[in-house]
Structure 1
Amino acid sequence: MGLLVFIDTIALCLVVSSALLQRFEQAPKPDGSLSFLVIGDWGRKGAYNQSQVSFQMGVFGEKLNIDFVISTGDNFYDNGLTDIDDPAFDDSFTKIYTSSSLNKQWYSVLGNHDYRGNVEAQLSPVLRNLDKRWLCLRSFILNADTTPFVDKYFTEPGDHVYDWSGIRPRKQYISNLLKEVDLALQESNARWKIVVGHHTIRSAGQHGNTDELVKQLLPILQANNIDLFINGHDHCLQHISSVDSGGGSKAWRGVVNWWNPEEMKFYYDGQGFMSVQITETEIDVVFYDVFGHVLHKWNTSKQLHRAW
């Protein structure tokens, strides 16, 4: 699952696709800036260094005075949540991310492991009542809802059972979603456009490229000149051109398919997280490991256009 984030110096808007369009606004700081952390593939009841990553997120969340957190999916391993009473929600989320700096809104998307459980449970407002930080919705207007794109989950599910309620008929769902993404990007006048999805588009990790997204979603993102695509899924930290990927728990798979160095800016086969700081003219991205060490930095800027 995924969402697209419009960021400018006034607000962060996440527009949800429903009968009546619902809008979420994230107020910026007084100086017009926004900062947030990104994590993915994390829900393991504290194991596989999830707790250590959480601690460092709390440290840097305070240093950067973050406004919110984005989760790129695979929120609860191995098979999502069973229902709204599943203790995994408390054991993998509420009891783990306890730092005061992380007591901010979490914008969460769904990954393939989440689809193996009860998807409606993660989407339920009951969870938001249990922990006010939690916000996970099925289809955002600028949604890169990546799991339904991947053919193998439908044709080769193996022993896994996926909850496709609300997805079928699949072709129509994907077609409508791509149209919504394209239209919303075209209509946006935001200075910065960031798309968040669970699956990789391009990746040097174990899962590699997601061919369905390369074919269907990437041309739309390129045509609309997005600034970043942020994803999870491959349990590593990497920066490919303007595409970023992160992993918050189980990692170190020992798999890397090296790219042309002009495109592969950074690759780390381990756990960590990412920070993003945004002003009207700049984006600063930093990758951290489980100890809070800075592994990689990336920056891009845009000039202000003033009317004379």
Structure 2
Amino acid sequence: MTPSLGRTSVALLCVLWTLLMYNEQVPTTFAKFQTIQHPPKADGSLSLLVLGDWGRRGAYNQSQVAFQMGKIGKKLDVDFVISTGDNFYENGLKGVNDTGFSESFASIYTAPSLQKQWYSVLGNHDYRGNAEAQLDPILRKIDSRWLCMRSFVVDSEIAEFFFVDTSPFVDMYFQPKAEHHYDWRGVLPRQNYISNVLKDLKQALSESTAEWKIVVGHHAIRSIGFHGNTSELIKQLLPILNENNVDLYMNGHDHCLEHISSSKAKGSIQFLTTGAGSKAWRGNLREHEEGVKFYYDGQGFLSAELNHSEARIAYYDVFGQILHEFTLSKMLRSTI
């Protein structure tokens, strides 16, 4: 080997080593969905609780909602809990050692029935802080229940839950004069990130053989609450859900409880808003639109009980009272 070739080889090795180290330190914008297996009960059924917009160190009735979740969770013997984002107010976590994690999560949801896996997505308030802290495996070591990722799939055999990172879709967060600072590490370049999320979601949904397809995101696709519809999701996400016969879309963001039904030629999607884990009562109700089945401007959460033929959804208030419930029949593809 000549000296020049030797120097070239060493240089190439140095470049490769630098690239490897860089890729380990900087999160990729490729949004390939990771699948997590979470088996159902022995009889094939599944039960869970869903809430969003909750992390306020127990204030604004967060502790009371948590107490009722514990009671309902015990009654239903829930398999896991879903958080639809805005997990820590006002500005997410500062880091993995932020006391807000314990004060808003570990020390609040203490009921035995809630000592199950929590699957969470990021909300816009989470992106205002150190977003990657919530994704860090260190938090799972602090509290093993916690699992937060950008976009992923939970496979429970009869149902698959497709968690989608919706904040990067919303244009206003990227405006030069945006009111708040957002931690977009791992997201930029934005359009590449969004393209990958949509591509991978479409593939995951098309390959799913589950009885129930449920998509979870922070922002509403359809809502009559304070924030209303999210036009970017209607344009980019909704067509994929319709094409792949998604049954439920669950979200937070609006601090209320809602059920909106949307019938389509290929089936129907039920839009379920559950963003009332703490601060609510905003008093901003938009004009009713087609398909609105229920709206409650107050704190609460919802439960879902699934088997091969039916899905029963119930909404609860801060006192544990059922405000609204409905059943989906997989045989009839209709609401009762």
Fold conserved (TM > 0.5)? yes
CA distance 1:143–1:67, shift in 2 (3 Å): closer
Number of positions where the alignment pairs a residue of Structure 1 with one of Structure 2: 287
CA distance 1:222–1:42, shift in 2 (3 Å): same
Query: Is structure 2 residue 194 aligned with structure 1 residue 174?
Result: yes
Task: Determine helix, strand or coil for the equivalent of 1:148.
Answer: helix
Q: 1:248 aligns with which of 252, 255, 277?
A: 277
Q: 2:305 aligns with which of 272, 277, 287?
A: 277
**Corresponding position of 1:153:** 173
The answer on whether the counterparts of 1:143 and 1:177 sit within 8 Å (CA) in structure 2 is no
CA distance 1:157–1:286, shift in 2 (3 Å): farther
Q: 1:259 aligns with which of 279, 285, 288?
A: 288
Q: Tell me by how many angstroms 1:18 deviates.
A: 7.3
Task: Determine helix, strand or coil for the equivalent of 2:173.
Answer: helix
Q: Tell me by how many angstroms 1:159 deviates.
A: 3.9
Q: Tell me by how many angstroms 1:187 deviates.
A: 1.0
**Corresponding position of 2:14:** none
What are the Cα deviations for residues 70-94 of structure 1, in whole angstroms up to 9, with x where unaligned? 0000000000000110000000000
Q: Tell me by how many angstroms 1:22 deviates.
A: 4.2
The answer on whether the counterparts of 2:31 and 2:151 sit within 8 Å (CA) in structure 1 is no
**Corresponding position of 2:230:** 210
CA distance 1:215–1:20, shift in 2 (3 Å): closer
What percent identity do the matched residue pairs reach?
Answer: 62
Task: Determine helix, strand or coil for the equivalent of 1:37.
Answer: strand
Query: Is structure 2 residue 123 aligned with structure 1 residue 111?
Result: yes
What are the Cα deviations for residues 118-137 of structure 1, in whole angstroms up to 9, with x where unaligned? 01110111100000000001
Unaligned runs of 5+ in 1: 1-16
Task: Determine helix, strand or coil for the equivalent of 1:41.
Answer: coil
> Which of 1 and 2 has greater Rg?
2
Q: Which one-letter code corresponds to 2:152 in the other structure?
A: F
CA distance in 2, matches of 1:245, 1:94: 24
Task: Determine helix, strand or coil for the equivalent of 2:152.
Answer: coil
- With a CA cutoff of 8 Å and minimum separation of 6, indicate the structure with the bigger relative contact order: 1
CA distance in 1, matches of 2:30, 2:211: 25
Q: Tell me by how many angstroms 1:23 deviates.
A: 3.1
TM-score, scaled relative to structure 1: 0.90
Unaligned runs of 5+ in 2: 1-28, 154-161, 262-269
CA distance in 2, matches of 1:223, 1:163: 32
CA distance 1:72–1:157, shift in 2 (3 Å): farther
The answer on whether the counterparts of 1:108 and 1:135 sit within 8 Å (CA) in structure 2 is yes
**Corresponding position of 1:3:** none
CA distance in 1, matches of 2:41, 2:232: 38
Q: 2:139 aligns with which of 117, 127, 133?
A: 127
Query: Is structure 2 residue 104 aligned with structure 1 residue 92?
Result: yes
Task: Determine helix, strand or coil for the equivalent of 1:176.
Answer: helix
The answer on whether the counterparts of 1:44 and 1:249 sit within 8 Å (CA) in structure 2 is yes
Q: Tell me by how many angstroms 1:138 deviates.
A: 2.1
**Corresponding position of 2:316:** 288
CA distance in 2, matches of 1:100, 1:253: 32
Q: Tell me by how many angstroms 1:302 deviates.
A: 1.5
The answer on whether the counterparts of 2:121 and 2:164 sit within 8 Å (CA) in structure 1 is no
CA distance in 2, matches of 1:105, 1:205: 29
Q: 2:78 aligns with which of 66, 82, 100?
A: 66
**Corresponding position of 2:221:** 201
CA distance in 1, matches of 2:32, 2:188: 21
Select between 24-33 and 282-291 the one with higher mean Cα deviation: 24-33
Q: Which one-letter code corresponds to 2:215 in the other structure?
A: V
Higher helix share: 2
CA distance 1:20–1:257, shift in 2 (3 Å): closer
